[in-house]
Structure 1
Amino acid sequence: MRSSRALLFAALLLCPLFAAPASAQPPIPDLSGGVLPGIQQWIDQVIPPPPINPEPHPNAPELVESAGGAPGLAALWQATLPSNVGDPMFDAWPAGLDAYAPGEVIEVRDVTATAGVLVLVPFRQALLLKYRTTDAHGRPSFATATLVIPHGAWTGPGDRPVAVNNLPIDGLGRDCTPGYSLAHGLAAEISVTDYLPPTTQLALLRGYAALIPDHQGPWMAYAEPYVAGHAILDSIRAVRGGLPGFDGSVFGMLGYSGGAIATHGAVKLLSEYAPELAGVVVGAALGGVPADYEILARSMNANLASGVFIGATLGVARERPEILGRMNNFAQWVATSPLKDTCGSVFGAAGIFMLPMDIAANFPDPLNSDFAAEIYRVTRMEGLKSAVPLYIYNGEQEFWIPAEGARNLYHEQCALGANAVYRSVFGEHIVGAVLGYPEAVAWLDERLRGVPASTEC
């Protein structure tokens, strides 16, 4: 399945070039202002806009209004949204969502029978929750999360603790989520990161429950930290308020890479968005931290990581459609094509083309523009203090997600008075994940057992 989508990706990169009428003579690009601006102009002269006929969505006018009301932006935004996967738990927008409180449970489905292929260790029950949350602009939305409960009664003090496993979903399609895989069994889009590192399994063996949020929301807004932070905090609210036996539980979060984006959003939003969870969430460990997209614009652009970087840009654009208005016709073809439903293993393969982001924009030097600077500022969530103790780690030899971003986050949180620890580990993204994980999960285990965290600020 994924190999066929990879071939589709390569074809779609080329097919817009043949969309112009056969009789048209492609103009020669004007390169007087630099190579890339000339190529950008040439792309929009040669490649027509994609045909866009989306079904209308009631949220579109609000999103376009927030983006400045650019002509055609509503239709373009709708055309980039993920397709339905045929399961109303993930597809259906609940009626009367305004009447639900954030974190209020809308629907519960028992997925015990299908979840075993991902969980691997014995467990008593797996419940898929659908609950109300909030999008990046403060509007009602919904999300899903799966709670896995181990066998046996909890024998420790209080209610059973819960480990929140913020997996690096890193996908644009709804079937890329762990919740979809847990609900549908051995699905085609299962990722190795659904199993490794084995946070869910270790939590269950310790007697903890494991909560696995689908933190990208219904629009699959990959890499958008506000959506992810809200979805995670509301998943905790859903478990505490919607399921018996967890109203007195403590929760600890762990996320790496794309999961660290989500965890970063959650800890910074907790004080304002979910202040009642202060003291309930006892700590968060995050590693391989993409905390600053301005750094990633230098490290992931025009190299083998560019496919992931472009995919993340499309994910953020689903909640910040002003980005779509800065895309040229080529990028619009890609964003509205079947690639909008692919997972990271497919769009990540585009890195072999080493395309610079400039080739997708309709204005020069997009990554160094004032427009990009504002996106960097917003997604960096600067100045927001974590309400929970932090354990931050990063590979010192990271070249795509440099340790600079994680260290800056640590220093920022220390300056704000947060409780934080930073660990530099050997290796790049994969080696750093393996070597940094044991101490991170041990740190989180101590928090769940009630051991107070010591700051190293």
Structure 2
Amino acid sequence: MRSLRVLASSIVLLCSFAVGTAAAEPPPTPEFPVPQPGSPGFLPDLQRWIDRIIPSPIQTDATAGDSAAELAALHAAALPSPVGDPMFDQWPDGLADRTPGELIEVRDIRATAGPLALVPLRSASLLKFRTEDALGRPSFATATLLVPATDWTGPGDRPVLVNNLPIDALGRACTPGYTLAHGLTWDTNSTDFFPPTTQLAALRGYAVLVPDHEGPWMAYAEPYTAGHAVLDAIRAVRGSDPAFDTSRFAMTGYSGGAIATHGAVKLIEPYAPELAEVIVGAALGGVPADFEILSRSMNANLASGVFMAATFAIGRERPEILSAMNNLARWVATSPMKDQCIGVFAIPGVLQLPIDIGANIIDPLRSELAVEIYEITRMAGLRSTAPLYIYNGEQEFWIPASGARNLYNEQCSLGANAVYRSVFGEHVIGAVTGYPEAMLWLDERLQGVAARSEC
């Protein structure tokens, strides 16, 4: 009962803040009493109470009574704000006439990326290229290609490691591409540099490709968006520089970066079949491969801020999620929170609020909409043509190892070449204990050693 009282107090505080922002006069609370914790139907009653006392932030005369227009206005208001750099902000003309992976613009960023790379670079290029969003519509993405100053003396063209970093962000300034192009900012993610995957790869003579895999709408955790962006980044490199015509590409990603890697390897065959012989391996750890599992492990606890942000960000590509948000969630989604990095939007997790407080449907994580999103984002039945090295902390409590093991078993049943390693630790410790062997496995793939499946 005490926890319910704390929950109710936290919700009332949030609602009071939203109402104070939304309306000049306080709501007529005597007419709409706060639902009492412990009463039957507490959460559904609370959802209705929230929508009765808080007006929608985007309701106007033009959208009144028109749900489609209201949703379109909400979607537009929930998109990330411009950062003032057309490379990241500007949608190019004629995207539909371009092919996926076609290069749109290149910027030399060695002056800013060089000091951050910590290893001598021959070149550092910010690439902008055509890709597709989660629904297959023309879009664009950016990626950074870092080429070390040392000559490649191995066989064939210089190999490329695709480093899918855990961007885990809602704002464009949080991306590694923005940091490498503009220098360190308060929004720079520490995981851009630790573990030092980019530096270790460059010291081995490999080029490093760092995709901004959330796309221009910053669709954090959406695997189709991320997968398209990663594969089209590889296409952009191969199509624009003959030095990489015969290069081997391998990719790695942990946590949020594993979402991008998971999406990319499953889309090779249906989306970029010409890369099947080019991508020689993929290592992914701390794998959020099944969001239904995460709905049970990350909701109503310290991880709930991250879980809610990911749900909202997927809604930028799949607006049916936005339509299920109540007015409190809509105020948050259109506030400055929409441009924050994980260091900010994770903070509300201390309130340990369930996602129900931001929904306008009953039991949202078990709803028909949720089941549909789980199925889509699981990407079930798609086989990776690239060999896989999958690892997960056995003591994981927010991203349980069962999701990674299920992915391994699925890929084995589909005939993929795969390895699974259970490593010691939860999410942070597991990232450290699983890292050395994953890097050694990737190094062998980039050196041309064939992967041995353990299926």
TM-score by length of 2: 0.93
Paired with 1:366 and 1:195, the residues of 2 have a C-alpha distance of 37
Tell me the alpha carbon deviations over residues 65-98 of structure 1, each in whole angstroms, 9 at most, x when there is no partner: xxx9734111000000000000000000001111
Would the aligned equivalents of 1:118 and 1:194 in 2 still touch at CA under 8 Å? no
Instruction: State how 1:169-318 maps to structure 2 within 5 Å.
Output: 169-318=167-316
Q: Does 1:139 align with 2:137?
A: yes
Distance 1:280 1:428 in 2: 33
In structure 1, distance between residues paired with 2:271 and 2:365: 30
The answer to whether the 8 Å contact 1:29/1:41 transfers is no
**Given that residues 59 and 70 in structure 2 are in contact (C-alpha distance below 8 angstroms), is that contact kept between their aligned partners in structure 1?**
no
**1:38 equivalenced with 2:45 (yes/no):** yes
Map 1:383-394; keep pairs closer than 5 Å: 383-394=381-392
Q: For residues 425 and 14 of structure 1, do their structure 2 counterparts lie closer, same or farther at Cα, with a shift above 3 Å needed?
A: farther
Equivalent position of 1:80 in the other structure: 78
What is the aligned partner in structure 1 of residue 26 from structure 2?
Answer: 22
The SS at the match of 2:232 is: helix
Paired positions, count: 434
5+ residue gaps in structure 2?
1-12, 61-65
> Per the alignment, in what secondary structure is the counterpart of residue 68 of structure 2?
coil
1:24, distance to aligned residue in structure 2 (A): 2.1
CA contact (8 A) 1:222 1:315 kept: yes
Partner in structure 2 of residue 334 of structure 1: 332
Give per-residue Cα distances to partners, 1:380-419, cap 9 Å, x unaligned.
Answer: 0001111110000000000000001000000000011100
In structure 2, the partner of 1:7 is none
Q: Report how far residue 243 of structure 1 moved.
A: 1.8
Distance, in Å, in 2 between the alignment partners of 1:71 and 1:139 is: 20
Change (3 A) 1:23 1:329: closer
Identity of aligned residues (%): 68
In 2 relative to 1, CA 154–327 (structure 1 residues): closer, same or farther, beyond 3 Å? same
Secondary structure in 2 matching 1:236: helix
Output aligned runs, 1:419-438, within 5 Å. 419-438=417-436
Query: 3-state SS of the aligned residue for 2:52?
Result: helix
Q: CA RMSD in A?
A: 1.7
Separation in 2 of the partners of 1:319 and 1:209? 31
1:400 counterpart SS class: coil
Report the CA distance shift for 1:215/1:12 in structure 2 as closer, same or farther (over 3 A).
farther
Q: State the Cα deviation string for residues 4-62 of structure 1 (Å, max 9, x = none).
A: xxxxxxx9775213245336235124666521111111111111111468xxxxxxxxx
Contact 1:385 1:418 in 2 (8 A): yes
Q: Does 1:47 align with 2:54?
A: yes
Give the distance between the partners of 2:189 and 2:273, measured in 1 at CA: 34
Superposed, 1:382-421 pairs within 5 Å as 382-421=380-419
2:364 maps to 366
Q: Contact 2:19/2:26 (CA < 8 Å) preserved in 1? A: no
Secondary structure of the residue aligned to 2:386 is coil
Corresponding residue for residue 355 of structure 1: 353
Say whether residues 1:158 and 2:160 are aligned partners: no
Maintained 8 Å contact 1:410/1:420:
yes
Q: Distance in 1 between matches of 2:170 and 2:280?
A: 31
Q: Distance in 2 between matches of 1:330 and 1:23?
A: 14
Which aligned segments of 4 or more residues in structure 1 are displaced greater than 6 angstroms?
Answer: none
Q: Which whole-Å deviations, capped at 9, do the CAs of 1:268-311 have from their partners, x for residues lacking one?
A: 00001000001100000000000000000000000000000001
Over 3 Å counting, the alpha-carbon distance change for 1:413 and 1:245 in structure 2 is same
**TM-score, with length taken from structure 1:** 0.92
CA distances 1:101-142 after superposition (whole Å, capped 9, x unpaired): 100100000000001343122222100000000011111100
Unaligned residue ranges in structure 1 (runs of 5+): 1-10, 54-67
